[in-house]
């Protein structure tokens, strides 16, 4: 048995109007097509539902028995469709965004203000966590989108570069050590030889990129102090415990500290990415949010990136970023 919604709708229409002509007109069907649908339903139920004469249409005893059942089924489907539509509209008004803690602190307030101007009816829920955790949440469908240093492609994840950045050295503005007097216009990797380094954990994607470039340039830094977050590294650099190497998008938060930003040469370019679960299709709210994100990041790191124009890039770094 394969009773369809179309058959039930046709039966209820004829039962209500007692007319094939009126029902056919309302359902935009020919009378022949409507009659065929009713016959198919009766064939599946193995009984006649309607008594037909040239002048009247009436319910049989089986039809009278089937009428409340068909009505209940149609009402249940319509109510369910309304509820699902409401849920769908609510979901469209909520955007679940994941970012790394550094981005959350330094950029998200400005991004959220910008996005509110573009999509005032959308409620943004922000989760800040490590890149690996954000990736798992996107895979599980707990986040609609995440932004961060997702340098490695993952199966089942769509990854789109949304803004470029480069590595810069953070050193104390107050010259408390010989190595702190870097030029604002930039330093070379070799300038970091024997310089104390405030490093991120070894499994951090940005730190892995830093280590690859230090190894490529055959540079051995001085004493290492490992911290868990970029903000901590910047604060430690301000206090004179060493230098930190961070993405230029950190420029906004660095303004809160007495530190100097110096572009490292050769330039190490990398892209930060927007990731979504594959197969979800084009979510309009994600695209608008990415536009707001890119605009704020561009303003935040503008002066650092302007210094890189015309400067030789590290081809190895570009390969790593891709």
Which residue is it, tokens 């919604």?
5
Residue 322 pLDDT > 50: no
pLDDT of residue 313: 42
Residues in CB range of 281: below 8 A, 6 or more apart: none
Q: Is the four-CA dihedral 23, 29, 31, 32 of positive or negative sign?
A: negative
Which pLDDT score, from 0 to 100, does residue 309 have?
A: 45
Most confident option among 180-194, 220-234, 287-301: 220-234
Mean pLDDT of the chain: 84
The answer to whether residue 131 scores a pLDDT higher than 60 is yes
| 8 A C-beta contact, residue 210 and residue 316 | no
- The band of 92, judged by pLDDT with boundaries at 50, 70 and 90, is low
Least confident stretch, 60-69, 144-153, 181-190, 240-249: 181-190
- 322 or 268, greater pLDDT: 268
- What pLDDT shows up at residue 178? 59
pLDDT over threshold 90, residue 222: yes
For residue 311, what pLDDT is reported? 40
pLDDT at 225: 95
> What is the per-residue DSSP string for 255-315?
TTSSEEEEEEESB-EEEEEEEEETTS---HHHHHHHHHHHHHHHHHTHHHHHTTTTSPB-H
Out of 152-156, 209-213, 256-260, the most confident range is: 209-213
Instruction: Categorize the per-residue pLDDT at 128 as very low, low, confident or very high, splitting at 50, 70 and 90.
Output: very high
Looking at the predicted structure, is the pLDDT value of residue 305 above 70?
no
pLDDT range class, residue 302, cuts 50, 70, 90: low
**pLDDT at site 193:** 92
Mean pLDDT of the 130-159 span: 89
CATH architecture of the domain formed by 5-91:
Orthogonal Bundle (1.10)
Band (310; pLDDT cuts 50, 70, 90)? very low
pLDDT tier at 12, thresholds 50, 70, 90: very high
Short-list 301, 297, 275, 278, CA closest to 286: 275
Return the closest-CA partner of residue 227 out of 195, 259, 199: 199
CA distance 16 to 9: 11
- Determine if the pTM surpasses 0.85: no
Residue 76 is inside which H or E element, if any? helix 61-92
Q: Which residues of the chain are in CATH 3.40.190.290 domains? A: 94-321
C-alpha to C-alpha distances, 2 to 7, 46, 288, nearest whole angstrom: 10, 13, 44
Q: So what's the pLDDT on residue 152?
A: 83
Q: Where in the chain is the domain with CATH 1.10.10.10?
A: 5-91
Q: Can you say whether the dihedral through the CA atoms of 310, 315, 317, 322 is positive or negative?
A: positive
pLDDT tens string 260-285: 888 898 888 888 889 999 876 557 78
What percentage of the chain carries pLDDT values higher than 70? 85
- pLDDT, position 308: 44
| Cis check: omega of the bond before 266, within 30 degrees of 0 | yes
**pLDDT of 145 higher than 90:** yes
| CATH class of the domain at 94-321 | alpha beta
């Amino acid at each position: 048995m394969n009773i369809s919604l179309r058959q039930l709708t046709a039966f209820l229409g004829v039962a209500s109007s007692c007319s094939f002509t009126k029902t056919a007109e309302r359902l935009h069907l020919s009378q022949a097509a409507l009659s065929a649908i009713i016959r198919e339903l009766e064939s599946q139920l193995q009984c006649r539902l309607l008594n037909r004469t040239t002048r009247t249409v009436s319910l049989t005893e089986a039809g009278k028995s089937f009428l409340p059942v068909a009505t209940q089924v149609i009402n249940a489907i319509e109510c369910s469709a309304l509820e699902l539509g409401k849920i769908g509209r609510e979901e469209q008004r909520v955007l679940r965004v994941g970012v790394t803690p550094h981005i959350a602190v330094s950029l998200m307030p400005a991004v959220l203000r910008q996005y509110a101007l573009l999509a005032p009816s959308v409620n943004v829920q922000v989760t800040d966590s490590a890149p690996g955790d954000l990736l798992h949440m996107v895979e599980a469908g707990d986040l609609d989108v995440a932004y961060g240093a997702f340098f490695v492609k993952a199966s089942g994840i769509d990854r789109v570069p949304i803004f470029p950045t480069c590595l810069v050295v953070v050193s104390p503005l107050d010259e408390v050590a010989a190595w702190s007097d870097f030029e604002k216009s930039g330093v070379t990797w070799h300038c970091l030889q024997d310089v104390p380094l405030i490093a991120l954990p070894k499994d951090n994607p940005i730190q892995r990129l830093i280590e690859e470039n230090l190894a490529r340039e055959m540079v051995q830094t001085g004493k290492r102090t490992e911290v868990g977050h970029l903000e901590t590294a910047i604060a430690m650099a301000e206090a004179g415990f060493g230098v930190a190497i961070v993405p230029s998008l950190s420029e906004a938060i660095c303004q809160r500290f007495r530190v100097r930003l110096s572009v490292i040469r050769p330039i190490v370019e990398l892209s930060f990415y927007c990731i979504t679960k594959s197969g979800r299709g084009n979510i309009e709210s994600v695209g608008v949010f990415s536009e707001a994100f890119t605009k704020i990041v561009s303003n935040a790191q503008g002066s650092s990136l302007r210094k890189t124009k015309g400067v030789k890039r590290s081809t190895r770094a570009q390969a790593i970023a891709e």
